Amino acid sequence: MLVYEDAVAAFMDLQPVTPGHVLVVPKAHAVGLEDLDETLGCHMWAAAHRLARALRRSDLRCDGVNLFLADGEAAFQEVFHVHLHVFPRFAGDGFRVDANW
């Protein structure tokens, strides 16, 4: 389901980690950040920011929002067209991003 569109498209993730999980994708192809036009990247971030605000104000009543972008295979990128995940977080939702620092 498309939720936003201009130079980027935002749509509901087919495999959401939480209810309300949205992907923000530039229409122009870019494999990763290296290939992404900086102005378009800023626009993608601004769209994600607006969507995060909308999620916080929605009936979902989320407790927080994560923004996640994987850039390159070593960073767990699986789809090689740059995209930004915007997903609402709920206390006790069980989703974890584990990092060994």
Evaluate whether 28 touches 81 at the Cβ level (below 8 Å): no
The reply to whether 83 belongs to the active site is yes
Evaluate whether 21 touches 14 at the Cβ level (below 8 Å): no
Catalytic residue among 21, 29, 43, 83: 83
**Phi–psi pair at 25, nearest 5 degrees:** -130, 130
Distance CA 62, CA 43 (A): 24
Distances from the Cα of 35 to the Cα of 68, 74, 80, 92, angstroms: 18, 17, 11, 37
Residues annotated as part of the active site: 83
